[in-house]
Amino acid sequence: MGAVEQVYEVSILLDNPTVAQIKNQREKKQRTSKAKAVLFAAVLPTIFYRIMTLKTSKEIWNFLKGEYKGNERIKGMQVLNLIREFELQKMKESETIKEYSNKLLSIVNNIKLLGTDFSNSRIVQKILVTILEKFETTISSLENSKDLSSITLAELLNALQAQEQRRLMRQERTVEGAFFVKSQNNRDGKNRKKKQKNKFRGSSFNTKNNKTSNTQSFPPSPHYQKKNNHPQNKC
């Protein structure tokens, strides 16, 4: 904490420094760099962009104290608002387990940054109560295999994501099967049309042949040969 709340002045080494001076300067540089790295790693990305230009770890620490603490009344109101936001969350149809859990964890992290404890068991209870009905099979399986009051957040998320992945794979197979059936039906339809077309052509050809055979010529009638004035078609 000393490296955070103090400003270490790293003096410039003079010519021919002693071993002790070199060592002291190196230690001060390492302390200040380590303190800044720890503070940078502990904040959310939105806060990081606001403190990345600050020069010393003390400046960063003072900014964070003003940002997250303030006076006790403001701090308490912030915690209450975040807890209310957490309690109002419900999983949407369009959300995945990962998206929903990340949203809850983001709220919980903000609560913890304000100095309020928030147990993982509370997050587990929230997920169990507010997830979609399609995950009831997994919940029932977990109830039969272990005590839900002692299940860890990681175990719950892994089980739910596994069911989600299986459901997604089944949906993909269903879509592929429907596409195959549709393609097969289209192919069969084209074959039927082709057969009907060929059948129609064959029928037209037979009709034409029948007409030709019906109009074939016959030898003149003997009566026509005897009666010059008798038309041939009257025979």
Q: Is 70 left (phi over 0), alpha (psi -120 to 50) or beta?
A: left
Q: Which residue has better confidence, 108 or 14?
A: 108
Give the structural domain span for 144: 72-173
90 and 24 in one domain? no
The answer to whether residue 231 is domain-embedded is no
150 and 123 in one domain? yes
The answer to whether residue 132 is domain-embedded is yes
82 and 57 in one domain? no
162 and 77 in one domain? yes
**What is the spatial distance between Cα 37 and Cα 41, in angstroms, rounded to a whole number?**
6
161 and 96 in one domain? yes
9 and 101 in one domain? no
Domain boundary, last residue among 142, 157, 173: 173
Q: Which residue has better confidence, 201 or 109?
A: 109
- Residues 136-152: pLDDT tens digits? 888 888 888 878 888 99
pTM for the whole structure: 0.47
Total tally of structural domains belonging to the chain: 2
Instruction: Choose among 4, 2, 7: nearest CA to 65.
Output: 4
Q: What is the pLDDT of residue 44?
A: 73
Q: Which residues contact 63 (CB under 8 A, 6 or more apart)?
A: 50, 51, 54
Sign of the C-alpha dihedral computed for residues 16, 18, 22 and 25 taken in this order = negative
The answer to whether residue 228 is domain-embedded is no
Q: What is the pLDDT of residue 4?
A: 52
Q: What is the mean pLDDT of residues 104-110?
A: 94
79 and 56 in one domain? no
58 and 31 in one domain? yes
163 and 84 in one domain? yes
Question: Which amino acid is located at 218 in the chain?
Answer: F
The answer to whether residue 165 is domain-embedded is yes
Please check whether residue 107 is in contact with residue 82, taking contact to mean a CB–CB distance below 8 angstroms: yes
82 and 60 in one domain? no
- Residues 165-187: pLDDT tens digits? 988 887 776 766 666 566 666 67
In a 13 Å sphere around the CA of 41, the CA atoms on its Cβ side amount to 6
54 and 88 in one domain? no
128 and 153 in one domain? yes
Q: What is the pLDDT of residue 182?
A: 67
- Residues 30-72: pLDDT tens digits? 777 777 788 878 777 878 888 888 877 788 888 887 776 666 7
